[in-house]
Structure 1
Amino acid sequence: MPFLGKKVGLIVPLISLIAHNVLFKAPYASFSCSLLHIGCPSHIPIHGFVNDEYKEVYNIFVNNFKQGLDIGASISAYVDGKQVFSLQGGWQDRDKQIEYTNKTLQMVYSCTKSLGSIIVAQLVDQGLLSYNERISTYWPEFAQGNKENVTIEDLMRHKSGLGGLDEPLSYYNASDLDRLADVLAKQRHNFDGKPVHAYHVITQGWIQNEIIRRVDPQHRTLNDFAREFMDKWGSEWYLKPYATEGLDISRIAPFYPIPKYQQYAHLIATVLNPFKDSSLIFALFNKDSLVYRSLVNPHISLDTNIQKLNPKHRSIEIPSYSGHTNADSIAKLAAMMANRGKAIEQGEPDLFTKDTTFEEATRVMDDYETDAIFPNDVINNLRGGLVIFPNDYLNIPDYDKESELIGGIGASGTFFVFNEKYKIGFAYVSNCLHSQRNPDERSLAILRAILKKNKESRGSNC
């Protein structure tokens, strides 16, 4: 019996260790690779270039695939207006063995909101909009349900009180801009007129669209403006790709969620952890909660999975998250924003015509605020909607206050950031949906390598 007890004492911890490694392994690594380091990926297609001084970035990028953290991804960065690397790796479509290249298009979820912030700033630059002005000035029907005092700034900073819809949004209403505008105008303010920070996961872009349609002489939408970015700056964007004539939709990468058993394991671990706030999870099952009304009710095509290449869903413009683009296109905009909106290539126009536009769009308004939808997130939206990422949030040590990055993130880990002082613009996109934190180590390790090199270069020039 003592011998049996010893065996049980050894077997139980061993089984527990194996179970933990299986449940919480890198999501796209095989069991043999995770447990025995056998059969790990060796042939990983890599495209693009990297300057010699950023070889560390190349190694980090490749290791993401070797470790099972990515299937297909791309990174791009500019420093001082010059592109220092552009890399694409892995598989656009793993099953069909289609390689991820600079032609691949990726839906970037909420990183699309960064594009919207830039376009709204351009309209402010032209005098068509003002951050101070009430939305009802441009859209009189909006002044219903305690929304009469909501400003453009409130909308950009997720404080317009229209993140949640009381009733589920039908495909019928979402597919027609006039019907959609009527639904949004009639929706009551979520906080009885008070400017509370509550992330507008889906609705922000639709509200922007209706305002823009009313002030633009050609009645364009965000997608129309975004399509012009290719000709002006070589930045390619499609907000409704399946309705875009001439677009080769085979360029669009499908998404790869983590295995179901890992999804459930992470969910259970969160719920059972007394040190983690699981209120968001429980609120998703309460149809009366603000979380449900913000994450579920505004969601069209509830019977389909948006992670899949669904033509019905991807034919509608959803400017809060439907942007399809690539890392090079995002990084180009980030580099220009790092240059205060000025062009970085000869012959190209500036993003803004006035020097004050960049200052207004990036003006710090308040301290960091706890979000009413995502209570674990403390967010500081600048006046024009972009987000400040403090160094401690990104785990970036030894950098001064002015090195804080500005930009946006998306659910797949997509990352758009820039820094004016050090003239850095960086982008990361992926077809993998697994992170519990956005951005995550796939991109943060690369970003830290850029900042480290930048710091070394500045030190050598002193």
Structure 2
Amino acid sequence: MPEVPIKIYEGDKYVKVIDLFKSHFDNHIDIGASVSVIHKDKVIFEVSGGYKDFESKDPYTKDTLQAIFSSSKVVTSIVVAWLVDQGYLDYDAPVSKYWPEFSQGGKDKVLLKDVMRHDAGLAWVDPPLEYDEIIDPEKLYNRLAQQAHVFDGEDKRSYHAFTQGFILNGIAQRVDPKKRTIGTILKEEITDKLGAEFYYGIRDEEVLKKNSVWYQYPKTTWKPNNDEIDVDPAVAQANFLSIFPLLGKAVNLPLYKNTKLSPANHPDFHLIEIPAGNGHSTATSLAKIVSQAISENSILSEKTRKSLFEEATTKRDHALKSEKTLTKAGFNVFEYPDANLTVIGGSGAGGSYVVIHPELEFVFAYVTNANQLTPPGFGRGLDLLKVFYEEFKQNSN
């Protein structure tokens, strides 16, 4: 097999990061990926490598679009912050102020910041949503409004895998003067102005050509004769969900009709706007959008930028069965004591990862097309961040 293509666009002095990035392909744990770091509005590191399509050996470049799953939530938090900045929303206001029907079923006291922090009590809908309800906004919003608080009004945190985005879309369309969805607001108010690309599902055929194939089995993709074997993600997921039953309820949505295909490769995955889960972007575009949280040239006011990091609360997440810390704007606080490192942002199923280091004023983004089963905030992206963090400090001295 020919040497795996690696392209360094910026930051060749970050030798250790580049070496680690290359090793992921040598060890067959990545197939195609990009890393980008923005510091004070400037791209200081950008690298891509591997394959967008392993079969055709089409290289993965900085312009390759990638499904990032729940890392989409970080971008959605920026859109909600824009709505707050415009005076259309208030994190401390009840959702029913903007959406009166939402108050049904004991949800009258649910605040916007509860939705952002997965404290809204609407992590799933019972009975589960049908496909025709998900693709019909009116039906979807009616089901969400009618659903009773799943914890009978108790203050409990439970990961809203998909419903968070659906709720926020319902709110956005009610408060925005143009009745726009999260995705349309993002395009018209943020990405078009930044020269960035981000899509909650790609419905343009030409744009879709830039999208990467998703690989559930990276090692067996590299070695089809099975001298390297992955843990079967289907088996691993079944075992995982048997341990985390509430998470199973949260992700139990028919987002596509043919479940034999990997979700990111399924055409139906692009038909629905899911602000909590079907974002597609490049590493640099993702970093550009999230950098609005700290940029002095941000589309957001200084007051709103500061609020993004405020009121971080730590609670046991009943779906994930672990302590989770989130700000009122929906940003995860990730603490890594072994590296003396704290960052704020989010991660997605499979491995995508985008975080902010507020003190050092950088945003780190990693996107990948090779599945990796790790807890939120861990995996290849974190490994790369830790090495970058050390080299960044050395280069800054």
Q: Please report the TM-score for the alignment, with normalisation by the length of structure 2.
A: 0.91
The Cα of 1:331 is off from its aligned counterpart by 1.5
Q: 1:113 aligns with which of 46, 69, 73?
A: 73
Q: 2:108 aligns with which of 148, 167, 177?
A: 148
Asked if the contact 2:113–2:329 (Cα under 8 Å) also holds between the matched residues in 1, the reply is yes
Asked if the contact 2:35–2:365 (Cα under 8 Å) also holds between the matched residues in 1, the reply is yes
The Cα of 1:42 is off from its aligned counterpart by 5.8
**Residue 212 of structure 2: aligned partner:** 253
Deviations 1:86-111 (A, max 9, x none): 11110001012211112211110000
Q: 1:373 aligns with which of 311, 315, 319?
A: 319
CA gap of 1:83–1:264, structure 2 versus 1, over 3 A, is: closer
SS, match of residue 59 in structure 1: helix
Deviations 1:222-274 (A, max 9, x none): 110222333211221111213x4x64312111211125964359968x99xxx
- 1:277-356 superposed matches below 5 A: 281-282=241-242, 290-296=246-252, 298-301=253-256, 303-304=258-259, 305-339=261-295, 342-343=296-297, 350-352=298-300, 354-356=301-303
**Residue 144 of structure 2: aligned partner:** 184
CA gap of 1:302–1:263, structure 2 versus 1, over 3 A, is: farther
**Residue 67 of structure 1: aligned partner:** 27
**Residue 373 of structure 2: aligned partner:** 435
- Take 1:283 and 1:165, find their aligned partners in 2: how far apart are those partners? 20
- Take 1:384 and 1:79, find their aligned partners in 2: how far apart are those partners? 22
Q: Does 1:449 align with 2:360?
A: no
Q: Does 1:415 align with 2:390?
A: no
Deviations 1:203-234 (A, max 9, x none): 10000000000000100001102223332112
Runs of 5+ unmatched residues, structure 1: 1-40, 272-277, 344-349
Asked if the contact 1:387–1:408 (Cα under 8 Å) also holds between the matched residues in 2, the reply is yes
Asked if the contact 1:169–1:300 (Cα under 8 Å) also holds between the matched residues in 2, the reply is no
Deviations 1:378-434 (A, max 9, x none): 210101001111123xx42xx3xxx52100100121011111211111100000112
Q: Does 1:384 align with 2:329?
A: yes
CA gap of 1:247–1:208, structure 2 versus 1, over 3 A, is: farther
- Take 1:328 and 1:121, find their aligned partners in 2: how far apart are those partners? 20
- Take 1:83 and 1:94, find their aligned partners in 2: how far apart are those partners? 28
Which amino acid in 2 is paired with 1:333? I
- Take 2:309 and 2:267, find their aligned partners in 1: how far apart are those partners? 36
Asked if the contact 1:50–1:58 (Cα under 8 Å) also holds between the matched residues in 2, the reply is no
- Take 2:97 and 2:270, find their aligned partners in 1: how far apart are those partners? 32
**Residue 223 of structure 2: aligned partner:** none
Q: 2:308 aligns with which of 354, 361, 381?
A: 361
The Cα of 1:300 is off from its aligned counterpart by 2.6
Asked if the contact 1:65–1:90 (Cα under 8 Å) also holds between the matched residues in 2, the reply is yes
CA gap of 1:177–1:265, structure 2 versus 1, over 3 A, is: closer
Asked if the contact 2:312–2:327 (Cα under 8 Å) also holds between the matched residues in 1, the reply is yes
Which amino acid in 2 is paired with 1:330? L
Deviations 1:165-199 (A, max 9, x none): 11121121111111110011111101111221100
Asked if the contact 1:78–1:424 (Cα under 8 Å) also holds between the matched residues in 2, the reply is yes
CA gap of 1:445–1:220, structure 2 versus 1, over 3 A, is: same
Q: Does 1:193 align with 2:153?
A: yes
SS, match of residue 81 in structure 2: helix
Which amino acid in 1 is paired with 2:336? N
Which amino acid in 1 is paired with 2:299? L
SS, match of residue 380 in structure 1: strand
Asked if the contact 2:39–2:361 (Cα under 8 Å) also holds between the matched residues in 1, the reply is yes
Based on CA coordinates, which of the two structures has the bigger radius of gyration? 1
- Take 1:84 and 1:91, find their aligned partners in 2: how far apart are those partners? 23
Q: 1:404 aligns with which of 317, 321, 342?
A: 342
- Take 1:454 and 1:419, find their aligned partners in 2: how far apart are those partners? 12
Which amino acid in 2 is paired with 1:412? G
- Take 2:54 and 2:202, find their aligned partners in 1: how far apart are those partners? 21
CA gap of 1:106–1:186, structure 2 versus 1, over 3 A, is: same
- Take 2:166 and 2:74, find their aligned partners in 1: how far apart are those partners? 14
- Take 2:9 and 2:248, find their aligned partners in 1: how far apart are those partners? 44
Number of residue pairs the alignment of both structures matches: 386
- Take 2:99 and 2:153, find their aligned partners in 1: how far apart are those partners? 17
Higher relative contact order (CA 8 A, sep 6+): 2
- Take 2:66 and 2:342, find their aligned partners in 1: how far apart are those partners? 27
The structure whose residues are more often strand, as a share, is 2
**Residue 206 of structure 1: aligned partner:** 166
Deviations 1:138-174 (A, max 9, x none): 1011111111110101000000000111112112111
Which amino acid in 2 is paired with 1:351? I
Asked if the contact 2:105–2:149 (Cα under 8 Å) also holds between the matched residues in 1, the reply is yes
- Take 1:132 and 1:440, find their aligned partners in 2: how far apart are those partners? 31
- Take 2:215 and 2:31, find their aligned partners in 1: how far apart are those partners? 8
The Cα of 1:337 is off from its aligned counterpart by 2.4
